[in-house]
Structure 1
Amino acid sequence: MDTVWIKDVGKKDIGIAGGKGANLGEMINKGLPVPPGFIITAKAFRNFLKESGIEKKLFDILMIDIDDDAQLKDAEKKAKQLIFNTKIPENIKKEILDKYRTLCNEEGGEVFVAVRSSATAEDLPDASFAGQQDTFLNIKGEEQLIDAVKKCWASLYGARAIFYRVKKNFDHEKVNIAVVVQKMVNAEKAGVMFTSHPSSGENVAIIESIWGLGEAVVSGMVSPDNFVIDKETYRIIDKKISEKTKMCIKDPKTGDTIYIDVPQDKRNAESLTDDEIKELVNLGNKIERIYRFPQDVEWAIENGKIFILQSRAITTINNNNIVKEGISKEPILIGTGASPGIVSGRVVIINSIKDLNKVEKGDIMVAKMTSPDMVPAMERASGIVTDEGGMTCHAAIVSRELGTPCIVGSKKATKVLKNGDTITIDGAKGTIYKGRIDTKTETKEEVVIKNKPIITATEVKVNISIPSAAERAAKTGADGVGLLRIEHMVLTLPMHPQKYIDEGRSEEYVDELVKGIKTVADAFYPKPVWVRTIDAPTDEFRAMPGGEGEPIEANPMLGWRGIRRDLTIKEHFRLEMRAFKKLFNMGYDNVGIMLPLIQHPYEIREAKQMMIDEGIDLNKVEWGIMVETPAAAILIEDIIKEGIDYISFGTNDLIQYTLAIDRNNENVSYMYDEEHPAVLKLIKYVIDKCNEAGVKTSVCGQAGSNPKIVEKLVEYGIKSVSSNIDGVADVREAVARKERQIILESALKSIKKDG
């Protein structure tokens, strides 16, 4: 079946309906006011490619160097043209039109519809802004509908989407797209609602609203009204009423989507009544309860009735920066704070795409509004300011993803500021100051330390990928580093490790490893730093200069990586061990060695012998393994006999290998479950056996940053948990809470037993 009614799908049908379609179906079935419609499934798109015979040609077009802008834009043009110029097979076309005719009959005549792309990964909690595709409004008639469907399919191959997928290691051939066809809401007013603050995670609702269709909010053409509401009491905490000069409407004559001037009496009027605000918050609370995760909700009002057009997880919450030293001077401009942080820098005004090269690292980029083409410059900027836009415009979304301070809706930054000016911006308050102002931003972790850290019996450690993050990580007060990923150091080197070996520059390579590990070991000394030997998959190595000889694997995550690579290219493993030996000779007795992707004790024996051969005294060094495969968990007693000091659960891999789920495959990613009983049973079994043998246990996968899972692990008796940097404080609180609960329950049992 190539089409399905929205009401017949739910949130578990992402592989069929895409994130947007699955969410709409879930909300319809929970009684929320969602306009009716149908979905052209992801299978239909795949059938279109295969039956029309363009599949291979399309994916060949995408084999480019994504860092070459010319190649990227050429690939976008060719891929889109290929889809536009290819006829949809008659059987697929017939099914689409049959559904459209049925929808029209149910609505009493030919209707206008919104045709929305629904990529199968875009609305997952960890999806990026860059994965989202296009929407086409006010579509009417069979010919327009088919044209809009092809445009949605083609939008999967925009330059930004191609770039994003390659950077995130998504396989183009596995990425699918569904299309939602929904009765159009001819909105008198519309906007977006966040059920938590999209940057800080603060438990308030934020509503942005404008006159007309909501497209003007997303595009950033209009600065919307902004309302902050207490979600529990429905009290309106704050209102900012903007001057709304433009509105997007359906042309009553042609049906086209057009922009017109807002009538004078509405420009500065509140676009929502208090009752409408309260009703929206009530709906937002219901939606958040459905998904148990903060939501970004699109809504519209027609004839006084609220409709929910879309809901997706907020992916940009970062509650790390919470305390700021105040700025006492008066701001020269005020806008809407879209991404927190205080930075100073040189102003570079962007009037056109040609100006992007002027933005250098550390500059503050100022524009009327940003667009996808500006992302490379936005990545270089230390701060971003726009004239227009609200919390959901392009500049705001991208800035939150990048962690870059951003102010939107300043109205006149491009006119008031001058190129070369030095300014300071506060991305939380939305204020812009003249000159450089030195301020200090304290992290959540620093505040915890200042208020005396919570002491827990279970150690709370931190994961580090990049040595430059060591100082920030150490400030969390973590009890050490549970995972230092060595491959991130290697992948940033100027050439492939084998090229160092082939060119006789092995010592240079060893010194690079020593330098990176030493940076972290210094920051944490004398606390332990467990360093995982290299675990990069072949596709990541292949991208390095000199990596052309890497094998091409269908699924690199299941391929030649981790210990299996080290036991094949033994010279490279020996170089890693020489780096460790140098560190030990320098007095870094806090460094531990961790072997990844173990699936049999013989791998440990072979690696252990090479470690000894390189002069490492395993009686004086802590060393252990990652438990990432069911095989390692099941054989843990045999593995313990090899003399390891510790194990650390790599839960990301353990879950996908136990459940046979490729977590990067959007067709099955909804089944990825940290609480699956099989996974928990394996973890508990390993902890029990290690505790019996006196072997330390830890966790360094994503589950180590999830307070709910951490509480279970503490209950099982795990000795340490290792979290992402921004999760240390929350994880420590969860550990302390669980430990207190265990002590209390034990005491109550003892009292009950004693009578």
Structure 2
Amino acid sequence: MNTTNKNPYIRWFEDLNSNDVAIVGGKNASLGEMISTLKDQSIRVPDGFATTADAYWQFLQANHLKEKIQSHLEELKSGKTPLDKVGKSIRRLFLSADFPEEITAAIQDAYQKLSQNYDTPEVDVAVRSSATAEDLPEASFAGQQETFLNITGEAELLDACRKCYASLFTDRAISYRQAKNFDHTKVALSVGVQKMVRSDQGSAGVMFSLDTETGFPDVVLIDAAWGLGENVVQGSVTPDEYRVFKPLLKKDDYKPVIEKTLGDKQKKLIYAKGGSHSTKNVNTSAQERQSFVLTDDEILQLARWASIIEAHYQKPMDMEWAKDGETSELFIVQARPETVQSQKQADALKTYSLKQKGEKIITGVSIGEAIAAGKVCLIESADDINHFQDGAILVTQMTDPDWVPIMKRAAGIITDHGGRTCHAAIVSRELGIPAIVGTDKGTEVLHDEQEITISCAEGDQGYVYKNILEFESAQVNLEDTPEIKTQVMMNIASPAAALRWWRLPCDGIGLARMEFIINNSIKIHPMALVHFDQLKDKATRKQIQNLTQGYPDKTEYFVDHLTRGIAKIAASQYPQPVIVRMSDFKTNEYANLIGGKQFEPTESNPMLGFRGASRYYSDRYRAGFALECQAMKRAREQIGMTNIIMMIPFCRTLQEADKVLEVMAENGLKRGENALQVYVMAEIPANVELAAEFSQRFDGFSIGSNDLTQLALGVDRDSSELADLFDERNEAVKRMIRRLIETAHESDRKVGICGQAPSDYPDFAAFLVEAGIDSISLNPDSVIPVIHRIAEVEAKL
């Protein structure tokens, strides 16, 4: 199709580029940029055209609107007329105006050509608003103007264009421009007319080229739901959520999908036939709710496109995608700069933590990393937003741009529906206030005036607590961090926490606790999945059935969740080493997992009982350890996290070490193959006494100073009566550590420490440096102060 057109009112997308924002706005200029420059890289963008800013100004002039609009805005500025009445009056002016003949003809002609291009008499199109000051680096106009879907025929198209013009003066658009000091009279509106992707029969969603909560730059975040994408954007459904690790996308041997979370997706937006609306929501089927929207290959294709688009624009991007249900093809339908994380100060990190424990009421997807407390203000309809009280926590089903004026005055936000890319999430990030979206039942459980605390500082999940709890915030300054020789690593429990701390100047992760993923994400005892058909308790069977929906093989649920949890932690520091400790529950802790009581013995002293290495070759747990090995193998060899180092805890004897290594090899994890390193925890005096022999079996040691101190001094670390005696700085403990380091180094083996002591005691960290330790693994909040302490010690050596 020859679209070359000198008509001042119409520009085809393929003739536009990112320099044309003044002519067609940011949204349409970006579509043109992708169509004209990225087709060679196989990125599909639906064809279309845009009306120009000239068309908008001509529309105003022909209908004598400029002076009338200015008059209404003056009434607002003087306080004579409130915002809602001013906005309504201005919009009425647009809706009752007519397009000049030459603009009508230009739109009709372009629509006919687009229809011919798709070999149909009247092509169905999406009609989108694109303000000419839109998507500037310092502000996002996303969601400020209207979009109309499934528009067919010239009459419907002209009506939708008129409505787009009117949406330049919605209440939220007016107030947003006022807040950002944009002159209303200098912002024009372009209308984008784009071939609809039949995602009403497929799926759609939103995609970011970085992690929206932490700013971690090496992931693509994708939200996905069935049907047209407006439900995801508006937050009226809780979508699937996927994260992909970008640095491994170019390696064909790997599939670096590091997170897949199933959303409830309770409804989908589809085409409507007849009536006044072009789309309608219908309930999804049980199968749709229990199935992932995208396959791994589709997730990876979208992530590759996101990486290409980000590289082209040389900045983090916020994109919308759609999958055509008729052709199964994926498309990018919008791309704009990300405007929150990319604007944050890179050398500062603010952290929040609760100082009190509280009773959890509900949970959802956490947005931001802050904590807020206050009284609930429950509002079910936008008609009632005037009842909102400043400083309260807004609780509602979902938000749209009409809610922005009160969202600015809220201490926090809680919604029933929505995912990480919905309207409530985007606005709360821009405003810097915490939000918990997709709680499912927030409006049912919470009530007006109820005192609550919302915490988004505990990872991907946000928690609502009863009552107002004490919390604190701290600013971590990353500037002027000294260079040191000793490796400083982090102790990390949860995958979400790993991404949260990516900015810290670390050399990797010295301890990633597998049991945290099992306890918080999987929740089921592995042997209860291996022997599901033999479970005796009916309630337990039902609970496991519910959790493992979508997994015909129950053990696959365990392996899949553990694989991605481990991979997400490893991604946060890739390619730096990440040491993952195999499960180290005690029998009483294993028994508390779902289905665990049937498979665990009762011990009088679980701390010194059936734990660590002894479990891995035992018939009682061997099949469970095989699942752990499968997860580790997948994370390394399928996802591609070859920076993972395995670590064996509580290995009492050399014979036990041999047995564990043999079982690992049987499960495809042979030390030395595929660059696999295996470390051992040094937490038993025997590990120190036989360090030379253990060095022949393992690639390194990680000192567990808590257990080593307990066993060296014969003190129960949990005994309040003996608390004064439990001290890692005791000379006996220090001599053992020094000897271990010396012996290991003689065998060219590395030694690190992952215990609590160096985080708590600066003098103990200094001792470790003087003893020649290779690495110190710390709690994240201790990293910066301990680095400064190490620098002082190293300067004296």
- Classify the TM-score, shorter chain: 0.5 to 0.7
Aligned partners of 2:373 and 2:469 also within 8 Å? yes
Q: How far is 1:67 from its partner?
A: 8.8
Distance 1:453-1:60 versus aligned 2 partners, 3 A rule = farther
2:416 corresponds to: 387
Matched, 1:65 2:65: no
Matched, 1:175 2:187: yes
Which residue of 198, 205, 211 corresponds with 1:191? 205
2:221 corresponds to: 206
Q: How far is 1:131 from its partner?
A: 7.2
1:325 corresponds to: 353
Aligned partners of 1:129 and 1:398 also within 8 Å? no
Paired AA for residue 282 in structure 2:
I
2:294 corresponds to: 272
- 205-214 vs 425-434, which deviates more? 425-434
Q: How far is 1:256 from its partner?
A: 2.1
Matched, 1:230 2:245: yes
Distance 1:68-1:201 versus aligned 2 partners, 3 A rule = farther
Distance 1:272-1:377 versus aligned 2 partners, 3 A rule = same
1:282 corresponds to: 304
| SS of corresponding position for 2:221 | strand
Matched, 1:310 2:348: no
Aligned partners of 2:353 and 2:371 also within 8 Å? no
Matched, 1:219 2:221: no
Distance 1:150-1:332 versus aligned 2 partners, 3 A rule = same
* CA distance in structure 1 between the aligned counterparts of 2:479 and 2:470, rounded to whole angstroms: 23
Paired AA for residue 405 in structure 1:
P
| SS of corresponding position for 1:242 | coil
* CA distance in structure 2 between the aligned counterparts of 1:83 and 1:284, rounded to whole angstroms: 37
Distance 1:60-1:69 versus aligned 2 partners, 3 A rule = closer
Q: How far is 1:155 from its partner?
A: 0.5
| Greater C-alpha Rg | 2
Paired AA for residue 413 in structure 1:
G
* CA distance in structure 1 between the aligned counterparts of 2:378 and 2:123, rounded to whole angstroms: 44
Pairs within 5 Å for 1:441-520: 441-445=473-477, 448=479
Q: How far is 1:328 from its partner?
A: 6.2
1:96 corresponds to: 107
Paired AA for residue 112 in structure 1:
D
Q: How far is 1:61 from its partner?
A: 2.1
Paired AA for residue 99 in structure 2:
I
1:163 corresponds to: 175
1:6 corresponds to: 13
- Unpaired stretches in structure 2, ≥5 consecutive residues: 1-7, 250-255, 485-797
Aligned partners of 2:234 and 2:399 also within 8 Å? no
2:49 corresponds to: 38
1:367 corresponds to: 396
| SS of corresponding position for 1:381 | coil
1:408 corresponds to: 437
- 317-326 vs 73-82, which deviates more? 317-326
Q: Identity of paired residues, percent?
A: 42
* CA distance in structure 1 between the aligned counterparts of 2:291 and 2:151, rounded to whole angstroms: 30
Q: Describe the superposition over 1:229-269 as per-residue Cα deviations: whole angstroms up to 9, x where unpaired.
A: 21222522222211111100113677921111112211121
Q: How far is 1:7 from its partner?
A: 0.3
2:472 corresponds to: 440
| SS of corresponding position for 2:19 | coil
Q: How far is 1:424 from its partner?
A: 1.7
Distance 1:100-1:357 versus aligned 2 partners, 3 A rule = closer
* CA distance in structure 2 between the aligned counterparts of 1:197 and 1:277, rounded to whole angstroms: 15
* CA distance in structure 2 between the aligned counterparts of 1:214 and 1:87, rounded to whole angstroms: 31
| SS of corresponding position for 2:332 | strand
Q: Describe the superposition over 1:332-375 as per-residue Cα deviations: whole angstroms up to 9, x where unpaired.
A: 32211123211222222112346545543432111111233333
| SS of corresponding position for 1:123 | coil
Q: How far is 1:453 from its partner?
A: 11
2:463 corresponds to: 431
Aligned partners of 2:265 and 2:289 also within 8 Å? yes
1:559 corresponds to: none
| SS of corresponding position for 1:156 | helix
2:269 corresponds to: 248
Distance 1:453-1:405 versus aligned 2 partners, 3 A rule = farther
Q: How far is 1:55 from its partner?
A: 2.3
Matched, 1:140 2:161: no
Aligned partners of 1:332 and 1:433 also within 8 Å? yes
Matched, 1:301 2:315: no
* CA distance in structure 2 between the aligned counterparts of 1:420 and 1:56, rounded to whole angstroms: 46
* CA distance in structure 1 between the aligned counterparts of 2:483 and 2:448, rounded to whole angstroms: 45
Matched, 1:26 2:33: yes
* CA distance in structure 1 between the aligned counterparts of 2:226 and 2:149, rounded to whole angstroms: 16
Paired AA for residue 211 in structure 2:
H
* CA distance in structure 2 between the aligned counterparts of 1:114 and 1:69, rounded to whole angstroms: 38
TM-score (norm: length of structure 1): 0.57
* CA distance in structure 2 between the aligned counterparts of 1:212 and 1:444, rounded to whole angstroms: 43
Matched, 1:49 2:60: yes
Q: Describe the superposition over 1:506-539 as per-residue Cα deviations: whole angstroms up to 9, x where unpaired.
A: xxxxxxxxxxxxxxxxxxxxxxxxxxxxxxxxxx
Which residue of 71, 85, 105 corresponds with 1:74? 85
Aligned partners of 2:233 and 2:423 also within 8 Å? yes
Paired AA for residue 208 in structure 2:
F
* CA distance in structure 1 between the aligned counterparts of 2:432 and 2:108, rounded to whole angstroms: 44
- 94-103 vs 68-77, which deviates more? 68-77
Paired AA for residue 222 in structure 1:
V
Q: How far is 1:43 from its partner?
A: 1.0
Q: Describe the superposition over 1:562-582 as per-residue Cα deviations: whole angstroms up to 9, x where unpaired.
A: xxxxxxxxxxxxxxxxxxxxx
* CA distance in structure 2 between the aligned counterparts of 1:239 and 1:426, rounded to whole angstroms: 23
Q: How far is 1:321 from its partner?
A: 4.3
Distance 1:175-1:410 versus aligned 2 partners, 3 A rule = same
* CA distance in structure 2 between the aligned counterparts of 1:285 and 1:75, rounded to whole angstroms: 43
Paired AA for residue 4 in structure 1:
R
* CA distance in structure 2 between the aligned counterparts of 1:69 and 1:413, rounded to whole angstroms: 38
Aligned partners of 2:379 and 2:395 also within 8 Å? yes
2:525 corresponds to: none
Q: Describe the superposition over 1:371-392 as per-residue Cα deviations: whole angstroms up to 9, x where unpaired.
A: 3333333222211111111223
Distance 1:242-1:330 versus aligned 2 partners, 3 A rule = farther
* CA distance in structure 1 between the aligned counterparts of 2:234 and 2:19, rounded to whole angstroms: 30
* CA distance in structure 1 between the aligned counterparts of 2:371 and 2:349, rounded to whole angstroms: 10
* CA distance in structure 2 between the aligned counterparts of 1:21 and 1:14, rounded to whole angstroms: 8
Distance 1:376-1:132 versus aligned 2 partners, 3 A rule = closer
* CA distance in structure 2 between the aligned counterparts of 1:73 and 1:358, rounded to whole angstroms: 15
Q: How far is 1:405 from its partner?
A: 0.7
* CA distance in structure 2 between the aligned counterparts of 1:126 and 1:98, rounded to whole angstroms: 37
Distance 1:391-1:157 versus aligned 2 partners, 3 A rule = same
Q: How far is 1:69 from its partner?
A: 9.9
* CA distance in structure 1 between the aligned counterparts of 2:85 and 2:384, rounded to whole angstroms: 21
Distance 1:315-1:156 versus aligned 2 partners, 3 A rule = same
